[in-house]
């Protein structure tokens, strides 16, 4: 008798992603990335400094270089402008985008978090 395999993503042949994908965004519109910074006791803590960058993963292209965020707060909301949410290749209908946020905590440790989303081209009638 054959042993039945479990139904997880790896068994079905789907890749296991190291991130949680967030809702898709229409190209040319504003969007946001939200991060919560926790200390070693798992309590919200404002970091000493925060910076972020935006990358186009599909084309391996940097959209926004490292940018500091002030003031540094325990919950960070990064607003991405319509200019940042543009398609690099106009013939493509989708591209993956990634916001990388890096916080230096008061104890000197560095936390890095990702916000990954799919950018979808708008079809004009």
**5 in a domain, yes or no?**
no
Question: What's the first-to-final CA gap in the chain, in angstroms?
Answer: 57
In total, how many domains does the chain have? 1
Q: Is residue 3 part of a domain?
A: no
Q: Quick one: which H or E segment has residue 54?
A: strand 49-56
What is the reported pTM? 0.80
Torsions phi, psi for 69 (to 5 deg): -115, 125
pLDDT digits over 11-38, tens only? 445 555 666 678 899 999 999 999 999 9
Q: Residue 102's beta-bridge partner residues?
A: 51, 112
Domain extent, residue 76, equals 18-120
Q: Is residue 11 assigned to a domain?
A: no
pLDDT tens string 80-110: 999 999 998 878 889 999 999 999 999 999 9
CATH code (residue 31): 2.60.40.1930
DSSP state of 48: S
């Amino acid at each position: 008798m054959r042993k039945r395999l479990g139904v997880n993503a790896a068994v079905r042949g789907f890749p296991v992603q190291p991130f949680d994908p967030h809702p898709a965004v229409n190209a040319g519109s504003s969007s946001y990335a939200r991060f919560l910074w926790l200390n070693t006791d798992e309590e919200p803590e404002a970091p000493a400094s925060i910076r972020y960058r935006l990358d186009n993963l599909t084309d391996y292209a940097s959209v926004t270089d490292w940018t500091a965020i002030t003031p540094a707060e325990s919950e960070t909301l990064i607003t991405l402008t319509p200019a940042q949410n543009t398609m690099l290749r106009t013939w493509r209908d989708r591209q993956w985008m990634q916001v990388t946020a890096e916080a230096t905590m008061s104890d000197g440790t560095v936390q890095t978090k990702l916000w990954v989303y799919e950018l979808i081209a708008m079809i004009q009638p």
